[in-house]
Chain A
Amino acid sequence: MPRDKGLPPGSLVLLILQVLSNGPLHGYAIAQRIAARSNDELSVEEGSLYPALQKLLLKGWVKASPAVSQTGRQVREYRLLPAGRRQLDAERVEYRRVSRAIAAILESV
């Protein structure tokens, strides 16, 4: 069972979509970008990353195309599709709603 450090359950798809919203990235770069943007607070295990990417492909939210990494290796770059962007917006709204609700509960106590 992969254990993603500090990652709230169900948030991986949102994070991947978010980092892809700035431009196409390959798998390793996605993991790196999430770690970097969270100041190494969050890290994505490979065992979670690749099934999640396959799910995004299956849902038609991203598209994969062959590319070459900065180190010259053959990789696949994932590009956000319009459906993926819509999904990102929806997940953002949902995440904010849930986190506001959780915050409200925490503050009330």
Chain B
Amino acid sequence: MDLIGEWLRRVWYLLNRRRFDEALRREMDAHRAEMSRPARFGNALRLREEAQDVWGWLWLDHLVRDVAFSIRTLRRSPLFVAAATLILAVGVGVNLAFFQIVNAVLLQPYPLKDPPTLARFNRICCGRGDASSTITLVPPPMAGYVRRHSAVLSAVLTRRPADVDWGPDGMERVRAAFVSTNWFDELGATATLGRLFHERDDALLARTPVAVLSHDLWQRQFAGRQDAVGQVVLINDRAVTVIGVADPRFADIALPTSAAWLPMAHVDAFFNTGTRSDVDWTGGVELFGRFAPGVSASGVEEGLRATLAELSRDRPNDVRQGEWLEPLLASTRFMGPSERREALSLGIAAGSLTVLVLLIAALNLGNLMLARAISRVREMSIRSALGASRWRSLRYLVLEGGLVAAAGGVTGLGLGLVAAQVLASLSGAPRHVDLMPDWRTALVGGGAIALAALVVSLPAAWRVGRRDLALAVRDGGDRATAGLHSVRLRSLVIACQLAGCGVLLVFAGQMLQGLDRLRSTGLGFDFEDVAVLDPALAEHGMTPEAAFAYWADVRARVEANPGVASTALVTHAPLGSARSTLSYAGVPRLNVHTLSVEPVFFSMMRIPILSGRGFAPGDAPGTVTIVSRTVATRMYGRADVVGEPFPRGGSESVIVGVADDAHLFTPGAPNMGEAYGLLSPSSAANAVLLARARTDAARFPGLMRQASRAAAPHLSPETRLLRDDFAGLLQGPRLASSVAGLTAFLALALACLGITGVVSYVANRRTKEIGIRLALGATSASAVRTLLRGSAAAGVAGATLGLGGGWLVGRLFAGDPLYLEPLNLSPYVAAVVILALSACAAAIWPAIRLLRADPLKALRLD
């Protein structure tokens, strides 16, 4: 209690210090005046300071005074401060922009109600042999069963994304989601305008088609008008009443976000299926659940295992034994533990590259601060002689470094936040991606500034602090600063900077190379001039027979066009988001994309058959498989596996051919293979149509759409060009490569500044020596060699280190999602050329200036 009272009094004193100090001064004045011999009172200022020191705030006074002094000193060098601020702002800005993006997409939970008790469920199925597969959708009847029978969930939510036609002409495709009526309440959404739908509205919603619009769609279609609510719009040619607009910050869980939400009860009517999708075991919806109070994630997993086991006993044909639902929490952005670990480690690895930029910037500044400190050794020695402690003298240096770091850091924070916003808008991030700074941002920003302050201040304080300052008073500073002018430390700084630049340049080069690999023929198949028609027949409840007839009609119409070279049906369109991926317990780190295709698929996509044969007319679906080379070599250990059962150890299917690798779904991924089955008529409802043009497929989407409308007017199929899908896939890597390249060149520019600074410094120091050499007949070339001798060696060492670092980074990012190739030489060659040219350009200017100077003048100046 006494201690608390004492601290309260200390704080009270601090808040009223001016008043208390003034009272003490008056009291001491009175004391001295009362004394018979006032001269014996002593130094009033010193006595007052000693008395004030009892309160424990004297250090603060000194600090404020020192800061004020440092600010005054810095104000005398505005150019230095501006350059230093800019250099550090770049370093801190790059780090903060990167962190803000990582923070927004990885660390922050989705902005939904109570994220720790909300999960999305993946269906984990046991397949043939030892394969297990993860399916992101569950059949609607399974979702219904879980809703009715599971005690571990207090609410079950379902969502089914679907593209719909908007408006009377039906020409605008809108990304919509059919959702359960508890969707908005359970996710904690609010309406900007009108209202949302709720579970209690079930009866009403079953009768009246309604829609809730996203903020963006409302702005686009209604120009933000208030009277949008109550308006009737046409969606898939059905009249729908707009009842409200969702808040723009409402996160719609998955990307891309929905533009409109409609009640799940209407999904069948909108797609004219004529069947009930809620009893369709071949359909799929996204399943989410809110945990019952007090139940943990593992409790939910166990509870749902039991529920699915019961369901499996009831419907063994639809639900295999051992199936389970894997909960992925909203608080971890619906990522599994290993997926999150991988993403975080990638984030940390990429973050350490941006820290390199900051280090390069801070090292540069540390070099400049050291030069300033050397020029002030004499001033510090005089302070020391007048009684200032060594620490007090050095504190000015540290404070100056700290102030410069703070100025650069704060500017960098602003710069980083703006850059993050720009990057987010360039990459088309949805509105709910929150890039506003939070406590993590403050922590990282503070850490970056502290690191910068340390690197900026320490070299000067360390080097000058070890000098005998008393010596400087006697000899004018010459002996005290002897050795401080040594180029060794500066060369070391250059080496570090070039090493950092080398790493960043090699990394950027590897990224660009990866992009180039994607852009060129590295995919293993030819996607140019191929269009896709995806009518989602299964979603429309079409039977396999009806689907078969539909495809026959559509193909006849499409192939009637002379521009069409060939068509093929497949279960999953290349480069699309829908895919089926299997992994096998006996073959670690191999994921196999499985798809069923028609025999013509291989020639149409120009995928060569390496051994064996393609599918033939007599083959029965389900009994023959063609595997890619990667699957053959990774699963069987050799390329020629024709005649082997697939998968290894299975008995249902035999391999008839080995195709060349084709990165159909994840371009650039090394651990991916393909297994092709023969498309069966029963899969017709799940198929999409590919059509290759003889010349240009640009007209094909319209043509295929017309063909589909003619065959089945109630369908509104999706059509697209594979090259557009590919361009979409490239968007992310392209942006990442640009950012990496920009970062590397920023770092290089900073390093060049450092090189220019060091060479100028050496040139200034050695003007006399080089003047004598030139006067004695030395050539310009030998003078330049003398000038650059130390720095050049350091530069070469740094660059070599950087290339090694680049190789390490390449290895680190050799996997998903960048797939860099650290053994490819071209990024290293490019980095060496760029580093050498930049370093020469940075060093040549001060060297030329030195050579142009009149040697005799230099000698006279001394």
Binding site for B on A (CB under 8 A): 26-28, 31, 46-47, 50-51, 53-55, 57-60, 64, 66, 69, 71, 73-76
Assess the A60–B30 pair: CB atoms within 8 A: no
Assess the A66–B35 pair: CB atoms within 8 A: no
Q: Is B23 an interface residue (CB 8 A)?
A: yes
Type the 1/0 row for B1-36, where 1 means its CB is closer than 8 Å to any CB of A. 010011001100100000000011011111101110
> Which residue on chain A has the smallest CB distance to residue B56?
A58
In angstroms, how far is the closest chain B Cβ from the Cβ of A47?
6
Q: Is B41 an interface residue (CB 8 A)?
A: yes
Q: Given A73-B34, A75-B30, 20 more contacts at CB 8 Å?
A: A26-B31, A27-B31, A28-B35, A31-B31, A46-B31, A47-B42, A47-B47, A50-B51, A54-B51, A54-B55, A55-B54, A58-B6, A58-B55, A59-B2, A59-B6, A66-B23, A71-B30, A73-B29, A73-B30, A76-B23
Assess the B42–A46 pair: CB atoms within 8 A: yes
In angstroms, how far is the closest chain A Cβ from the Cβ of B15?
15
List residues of B (52-98) whose CB comes within 8 Å of A's CBs: 52-55
By a CB distance below 8 angstroms, the chain B residues around A71 are: 30, 33-34
The complex places the Cα of A46 from the Cα of B5 at a distance, in Å, of 27
Assess the A53–B30 pair: CB atoms within 8 A: no
Q: Is B50 an interface residue (CB 8 A)?
A: yes
Q: Looking at the complex, which one of A51, A66, A74 makes contact with B54 (CB distance below 8 Å)?
A: A51
Residues A46 and B33 in contact in the complex (CB < 8 Å), given A55-B54, A60-B9 = no
Q: 11 A–B contact pairs at CB < 8 A?
A: A46-B41, A46-B47, A51-B51, A54-B51, A58-B13, A58-B54, A60-B9, A71-B33, A73-B29, A73-B34, A76-B24
Binding site for A on B (CB under 8 A): 2, 5-6, 9-10, 13, 23-24, 26-31, 33-35, 41-42, 47-48, 50-55
In angstroms, how far is the closest chain B Cβ from the Cβ of A30?
10
The complex places the Cα of A58 from the Cα of B13 at a distance, in Å, of 9
In angstroms, how far is the closest chain B Cβ from the Cβ of A37?
18
Assess the A50–B34 pair: CB atoms within 8 A: no
Chain B interface, DSSP helix/strand/loop, else mixed:
helix
In angstroms, how far is the closest chain A Cβ from the Cβ of B293?
51
The complex places the Cα of A73 from the Cα of B35 at a distance, in Å, of 13
The complex places the Cα of A65 from the Cα of B55 at a distance, in Å, of 18
Residues A46 and B28 in contact in the complex (CB < 8 Å), given A54-B51, A58-B55 = yes
> Which residue on chain A has the smallest CB distance to residue B23?
A76
By a CB distance below 8 angstroms, the chain A residues around B29 are: 73
Assess the A57–B9 pair: CB atoms within 8 A: yes
Q: Looking at the complex, which one of B9, B34, B41 makes contact with A58 (CB distance below 8 Å)?
A: B9
> Which residue on chain A has the smallest CB distance to residue B53?
A51
Assess the A54–B42 pair: CB atoms within 8 A: no
By a CB distance below 8 angstroms, the chain B residues around A27 are: 27-28, 31
The complex places the Cα of A22 from the Cα of B633 at a distance, in Å, of 102
By a CB distance below 8 angstroms, the chain B residues around A60 are: 2, 5-6, 9
Residues A26 and B54 in contact in the complex (CB < 8 Å), given A46-B42, A59-B6 = no
Q: Looking at the complex, which one of A47, A57, A59, A69 makes contact with B34 (CB distance below 8 Å)?
A: A69
> Which residue on chain B has the smallest CB distance to residue A77?
B27
Assess the A50–B9 pair: CB atoms within 8 A: no
In angstroms, how far is the closest chain A Cβ from the Cβ of B5?
6
Assess the B33–A73 pair: CB atoms within 8 A: yes
Residues A53 and B51 in contact in the complex (CB < 8 Å), given A26-B27, A58-B9, A60-B9 = yes
The complex places the Cα of A83 from the Cα of B29 at a distance, in Å, of 29
In angstroms, how far is the closest chain B Cβ from the Cβ of A40?
13
Assess the A50–B47 pair: CB atoms within 8 A: yes
The complex places the Cα of A31 from the Cα of B54 at a distance, in Å, of 19
Residues A50 and B50 in contact in the complex (CB < 8 Å), given A60-B9, A64-B23 = yes
By a CB distance below 8 angstroms, the chain A residues around B47 are: 46-47, 50
